[in-house]
A and B are shown apart, each in its own frame.
Chain A
């Protein structure tokens, strides 16, 4: 196995998690936790795939996928921002709804084929030793979108005025309100952005990284992993990218190692078809638990944590934070 090939594949599959995690970071920084990522990704995956199959144009599929994720997120926004419902339970409802709806819409889609989004090799950059082969050779165009999104998201949140408003709304909505920032509107916008990106993450699966529709296995828990990554990333896009690519590499490793008959002359217990592969399948999920523990410990130690108003509806004049 060539290391650069594994890492390159890891970056590609990590891009899925990257979009979803950055979307969730936007929503959570505004004070709204959205546990519907898995459902929104599934909706994005099925919408993108079916539209691309029908129109033979993956770009149209991509746009529709984002809108599908965004539309679903608005449900959560209305229920949690205006109706002040519990955000945890509303997010779970969104996942149930998205999963069911995606399965209904995806009925009969398995076996369809689509034109995938183009793969591009970036001239010049590809010649940089190691990094070039990992990041810039024959990657899907979405991988580059993901690479660009990270600094853009960081700059937007940490260095611009709208980003300042976003953080204020998530930390001290009352203070932001007093400064004339429209708390509800800001939250709506960023929950919607989170939905768009979750839809994009879903389409990244079905239109770029592993095309096809396999029911709810298409996303297979990656939406939840993205939610866990946000805690590990401590709500920073720059840290999210590390986690996303790391998990992408783990997912690839699990697939790749099953194709190896022997390791260093020893029979590979994890080769495909053997029951020990199920221990491999546990790995990403166990790893999420480990990184969430690390994230929580570190957040405690450095006194950085979740946005202070995360999960709390804002009502002008009511006591809160």
Chain B
């Protein structure tokens, strides 16, 4: 018996989404088996995740809070991956974005008492710029010197963390603790609960303005990528760089620009996280958003709106996963999901044919 993979000439429209869902289900099943094997209770763990992430409107709001940085970093990865640029550095760009936004109030770049209407846009720009700068380094090295971007983006994650730690432990430390002083109220993004005076139903809901940033970014990205010439050329480079070069597209420029935009999106995520959730700068502001973003981008097949759906799923996993013991379970499940996704993809591209070998008669 021989198993042969034959390229599909026609891919049915339902196949890819069906396989994606199937892969996630399979991954959760594999995760359950491993969990049971190491002495955990998978049924309780999964029930806990669903309950703690979607159980009532309060936790649903918390899930959306976790999804916010994931949408922006996921979008950052999806954009770069669409052009086959492996930006594994969203984590570092996120941290730099958080640092850049914090610098506005902590250096301070704008004087104390600057109204929100000025302060928040400046912090957004500072965060996005810092992230973009951090993305430009590997982008430039890749475009001009042909340096592998996987290694450089990864290494810059570690550098970014050390940079953040220097400021948090050193110049900006509050009383020697590993955090800065809290931001002034003008620097905080409004949350739903802030409007509970007029709408009591919103009391206690932590979803903040960063969610709006994320949705706007997704909307812009989906239009730019699929409806503009720029998006078309970018996709062409991703699909067939040789054809793009023959068509006279300046690939170098695209590499640098895409890296900058990707970094800016991740930087904006960092800004939204410090101003919307943490309200001060700490070194432990990310439980690995930038790495989860890689899986999200892949799960979403690089589609901007699908990034939102995937982010909510992973937001739930991160939120509820904090209480699951042992602590590595969410990370492990994320890895299994990614593996199942790429393994399932072979079924989109190829048809499996099983050929039974008949005994040759002499």
Residues of A within 8 A of B (CB): 35, 39, 75, 79, 83-86, 88-90, 92-108, 221, 224-225, 227-228, 231, 274-276, 278-279, 281-282, 285-286, 288-289, 292-293, 296-297, 300
Contact = CB atoms under 8 A, between A and B. Distances in A.
Interface stretch (B66-74, B94-102, B142-150): B142-150
Nearest to A76: B339
Given A104-B328, A289-B151, A99 B166 contact: no
12 contacts: A89-B338, A95-B335, A100-B331, A105-B38, A224-B155, A227-B151, A275-B166, A278-B170, A281-B165, A282-B159, A285-B162, A293-B141
Given A96-B291, A96-B334, A104 B329 contact: yes
Contacts of B298: 89
Interface in B300-333: 325-333
Given A282-B162, A296-B148, A297-B145, A83 B346 contact: yes
Interface of B: 5, 34, 38, 86, 88, 141, 145-148, 150-152, 154-156, 158-159, 162-163, 165-166, 169-171, 173, 291, 294-295, 298, 325-336, 338-339, 342-343, 345-346, 349-350
Given A35-B150, A96-B338, A100-B333, A79 B327 contact: no
B151 A98 contact: no
B331 A278 contact: no
A240 B180 CA distance: 42
Nearest to A87: B342
Contact of B326 (A86, A104, A296): A104
Given A97-B339, A104-B326, A278-B169, A88 B38 contact: no
Contact of A103 (B163, B170, B326): B326
Nearest to A107: B326
Given A100-B330, A275-B165, 13 more contacts: A84-B349, A85-B342, A96-B291, A96-B338, A97-B336, A100-B329, A100-B331, A103-B332, A275-B169, A282-B162, A285-B155, A285-B159, A288-B151
Contacts of A93: 295, 335, 338-339, 342
A93 B298 CA distance: 11
A67 B330 CA distance: 24
Contacts of B150: 35, 88, 227
A156 to B, nearest CB: 26
A85 B345 contact: yes
A225 B154 CA distance: 9
Nearest to B146: A296
B339 to A, nearest CB: 5
B153 to A, nearest CB: 10
Contacts of A97: 332, 335-336, 338-339
Contacts of A103: 326-328, 331-332
B86 A88 contact: yes
A39 B343 CA distance: 18
A93 B169 CA distance: 33
Nearest to B336: A97
Contact of A276 (B141, B166, B335, B345): B166
A227 to B, nearest CB: 6
A79 B330 CA distance: 22
Contacts of A281: 158, 162, 165
Contact of B332 (A35, A101, A224): A101
A89 B151 contact: no
Contacts of A227: 150-151
Nearest to A79: B343
A245 to B, nearest CB: 19
Nearest to A38: B154
A274 B141 CA distance: 32
Nearest to A280: B162
A32 to B, nearest CB: 14
B152 A292 contact: yes
Contact of B294 (A92, A225, A228, A289): A92
Contacts of A228: 151, 155
Given A84-B5, A98-B335, A276-B166, A231 B151 contact: yes
A286 B155 contact: yes
